[in-house]
Amino acid sequence: MLCAIDEWKMEGKMEKSISIINNMKNMGMDWGIISKATGLNQQQYEKLQIKYQHLISMPSLSLET
């Protein structure tokens, strides 16, 4: 199980990657360019979105012990 700090870091990285790809898509870039720039293809991006939605829907971990 992830600790709260690891969860926040992972969530932040995923959110940033999704945001960058969304911006590139909105600028009309095709997946060939997006894949070269991000290292993710369209299928990986879709899986990342699902993982991110699952992660943010989970109850936050508490820092209290």
In-domain check, residue 62: no
Domain tally, the chain: 1
pLDDT single digits (tens) 32-56: 999 999 999 999 999 999 999 988 8
Does residue 63 form part of some domain? no
pLDDT for 8: 77
**Does residue 64 fall inside a structural domain?**
no
Question: What's the pLDDT at 64?
Answer: 47
Q: Is residue 44 part of a domain?
A: yes
52 CB-side CA count, 13 A: 16
Give the mean pLDDT of the chain. 86
In this predicted model, which residue has the larger pLDDT, 65 or 42?
42
Whether 30 maps to a domain, the answer reads: yes
- The verdict on residue 40 lying in a domain is yes
- Dist CA 35 CA 22 (whole Å): 12
In which domain, by residue range, is 49 found?
4-57
Structure tokens at 33: 């360019």
Is 21 part of a structural domain of the chain? yes
31 belongs to a structural domain = yes
How many Cβ atoms sit within 10 Å of the Cβ of residue 33? Answer: 12
